[in-house]
Every structure is written in C-alpha cells, then in structure tokens.
Amino acid sequence: MDELGRMSPGQFREKEKFPLVIVLDNIRSMMNVGSVFRTADAFRIEKILLCGITARPPHKEIHKTALGATESVAWEYFEDSTDAVRQLHENDYQVLALEQTTQSQSLDIFQPEQGSKYALVFGNEVKGVQDDVLPLCHGSIEIPQFGTKHSFNISVTAGITLWDFFTKMQKFHKVLDR
C-alpha cells in the first residue's frame, strides 16, 4: 500500500469529500454492505446512511468485503429509512431512489445539476426501495438492462451508479486530488 501512495483512514477523514450520500434501505447481505463501503471509499463519498435491518460495523462479514473502508467512510444508522430521507431533505439534498418505477429516468440520460447535493437510496436485494420511501424521493433512476433479469446486485448497482455520478459531477466539484 505504501508503494501505491494511499492515504491512511485518518488522512481520508480529513480530506474534502465528494458531495454524495448513500442510503442503504434494509440491505440484508453484510457482504453487500461491505462492498458499498469499499466503493464509497474509492470515490471519497461523503457518508453512508445505514437503515433498518442493514447491518452496522464492526462485523466480520462486512469487513470481508469492506477491507477497512468502514474505518474511513463516515456512516450513521437510522432505524427507519424515512427518517434518514427526511433528514436529507432538511439538509437540501436531492434524494433519488435507484429503482425501476413508471417514472424512472435512465441513468445514462440523467444529468445532475450544478450546485445540488445528491443522496442515492439503494433498496433491499429482493423488495427494492420501500414503498413508504419512494414518495419521499425527488425521483428515481434505473440502470438500463437488456437481458432476462430485471435487476443488478446492490453492490454492482452502487458501483455503476457512483461511477456515473462521479464522472458527471466531477466537472462541478474538483475536490478529489490524486
């Protein structure tokens, strides 16, 4: 790691963050949670909100895929996902669900607005984003898919979506030095 010039978790916490919050709405797999932490670390995401049955660090199953990212990425727990989304509204975030709905916008078409802060809600592996959370979101985004399945694993969805947001929003936020 020294040869790669990576920063320590302490240095990471001091660096400016990419203005994006992740909401994990009742994620049942601890390995998925760990994977999202690791991806959030890679893009220096602001924070992860863990909600409902979503497991919280420290836990060995989360650590297997997070590989220490739970020490660098800020997180907070909410018993109810709706409380997390309401708090994001109070802090002027545009909250978007990653969900297939009749009103979903395709991720490749979605363009973030300069000056807006975003939060992305990722739902349960089987049931998706809760029905009582969806109306609280400003909209929903879905990743175009062309096969026989109708969803990606949450960790894959997070990776694709965070990379897309990072590339689209980086022109507004030059906070991530290498």
Q: Domains plus CATH for the chain?
A: 9-169 (3.40.1280.10)
Determine the Cα–Cα distance for residues 153 and 40; give it in Å rounded to an integer: 16
Rounded to two decimals, the pTM is 0.93
Residue ranges of E strands in the chain: 18-25, 45-51, 75-78, 93-98, 105-106, 117-122, 139-142
Determine the Cα–Cα distance for residues 99 and 123; give it in Å rounded to an integer: 8
Structure token pair of residue 163: 């990379």
pLDDT in tens, the chain (178 residues): 567 677 888 888 888 888 899 999 999 999 999 999 999 999 999 999 999 999 999 999 999 999 989 999 999 999 999 999 999 999 999 999 999 999 999 999 999 998 899 999 999 999 999 999 999 999 999 999 999 988 899 999 999 999 999 999 887 766 555 5
Return the closest-CA partner of residue 119 out of 76, 59, 79, 63.
76
